[in-house]
Structure 1
Amino acid sequence: MMNNQELYQIAFIAVNHKKLRNLGTAGHVACALETMNGNVFTGICIDLPCSIGLCAEQSAIAEMVKHNETAIKKIIAVFEDGSILPPCGRCREFIAQMDDQNSQTKIVLPEMKEVLLQDLLPERWDSKWN
């Protein structure tokens, strides 16, 4: 299992801010996740002015799913200034819906604090189907 600092470094290295057309940007947030199988995947955000975008966590998860994995052991998102960002509500739900095991995903928060996803989403709307 990777420690938080190792996963942080992988995410921070993936930060690569790019300007896109019409005020769009990409890469100012990057994410690294470790799967239950021990593989690491990264992703970057894409923000477009028409409100279409993709969070770094979603990008990393798409890469993971492309490689036939869905269970996340640990995940971290890093801003271009090096600060750690908690996942937004949409990403929390996205992680939860990928795999039943993901309620136990360790979310790395600022100051390398860890919290389980289930603690960030305590009252599940879909609990009757689990």
Structure 2
Amino acid sequence: MDDLIAAAAAVRLNAHAPYSGFKVGAALRTADGRVFAGCNVENVAYPEGTCAEAGAIAAMVAAGARDIAEVAVIADSPSPVPPCGGCRQKLAEFAAPDVRVVLASVSGQRSETCVRDLLPGAFAAGHMDAR
């Protein structure tokens, strides 16, 4: 997991956050071992930006992968910052409920959880099955 946190920390430095000043980096490992990273990208029509987790997921999907095996998120915050609600649902789209998610701060604090605990009762494809 240290390599994912390092990848998230490195991409965090590229974040475009001129409005909030809050840079976030995310990295995920796919089931086949590839690593994809993303950073938040703000927009003058704030809050119409892109979250770091969404950027990492988009890179993964663009490369043809679909299965998240691990996730790391890092920010310069007093304590490890969790993904927003929308990103929790995005993670749940591509990760099993027990996939490990490590949240980190640039000061070295870490917290570990899983997709299930980030989004209990997640909306899933099965909810759309016709009866």
What band does the TM-score fall into relative to the shorter chain? 0.7 to 0.9
> What is the alpha-carbon distance in structure 1 between the residues aligned to residue 77 and residue 120 of structure 2?
30
> Structure 2: which 5+ residue stretches go unaligned?
none
Residue from 80, 84, 87 that aligns with 2:83? 87
> Structure 1: which 5+ residue stretches go unaligned?
none
Q: Which moved more, 1:37-46 or 1:80-89?
A: 80-89
Which residue in 2 is equivalent to 1:108?
102
Which residue in 2 is equivalent to 1:62?
58
1:30/1:78 contact within 8 Å kept: yes
**TM superposition shift of 1:38:** 0.7
Pairs aligned (count): 123
- Does 2:34 align with 1:76? no
Alignment map for 1:1-40 (pairs within 5 Å):
3=1, 5-17=2-14, 24=19, 28-40=23-35
Q: Tell me, what secondary structure is at the counterpart of 1:12?
A: helix
**TM superposition shift of 1:29:** 1.2
> What is the alpha-carbon distance in structure 1 between the residues aligned to residue 62 and residue 77 of structure 2?
29
- Aligned identity (percent) is 28
2:25/2:73 contact within 8 Å kept: yes
**Structure that is richer in helix per residue:** 1
